[in-house]
Amino acid sequence: MSQLGIDVARGGKDFTVKAPRYETWFPEPIKHPGADTPDGQVIADQVVALETLGHPITKDVPIGIDIIGVGASPADILRSRGYNVVSLDARTASSASTKGKLRFANKRAEWWWGMREDLDPNTGQDYALPPGPEVLGDLSAPRWKPTASGVRIEEKEEIIKRIGHSPDVGEAIVYARAPVGPTAWML
């Protein structure tokens, strides 16, 4: 496994989704109803158990988790267990730009736009995504707009209002390809 992306839900109608990535191949994401992931401990245990689902994860594999809100708990627990947690904070300023040299308003825009560019059939990464309408729908759901501070991606709450559900699968896949390293994360 090259990287794991996790979109965390705690209770409610959303899903906790784990998206493994093996270089350019993304297998089917692993989904758990929010009711089955009530706290960080359960989510951390599910990550450790990925091996039983055919996705062996070593402690050096980067695990991208959005730490805003409920993602902080599983991130802390996995980190305390020695896993390579990349704490993704979508609100953080970005110094990156699009291939067309547009700036980003924040890391959220950088990550989503990066996925967009990686999926470009002419210049992208030749990603192999799992088939199905959920992946396509989630990854194509966010809208963007130029702002004075740079490209801004529609907030998750706005996407939910517009499409009627959280793009959990898409978020986890985006986190599984988010750049890792000192400029990509906080803590």
The dihedrals phi and psi of 101, each to the nearest 5 degrees, come to: 75, 20
Percent of the chain residues topping a pLDDT of 70: 96
Distance, in Å, from the CA atom of 15 to the CA atom of 166, rounded to the nearest integer, reads 8
CATH number among 3.10.20.30, 3.50.30.30, 3.90.600.10, 3.30.420.240, domain 3-177: 3.30.420.240
| Res. 97: pLDDT tops 90 | no
The confidence score (pLDDT) of residue 180 equals 79
The confidence score (pLDDT) of residue 152 equals 94
* Total-model pTM: 0.92
What does the domain layout of the chain look like in residue ranges? 3-177
pLDDT band, very low/low/confident/very high, at 12 (cuts 50, 70, 90): confident
**Parallel/antiparallel/unpaired status of strands 15-21 and 30-33:** antiparallel
* Digit-coded pLDDT (tens) for 35-69: 999 899 999 999 999 988 889 899 999 999 988 88
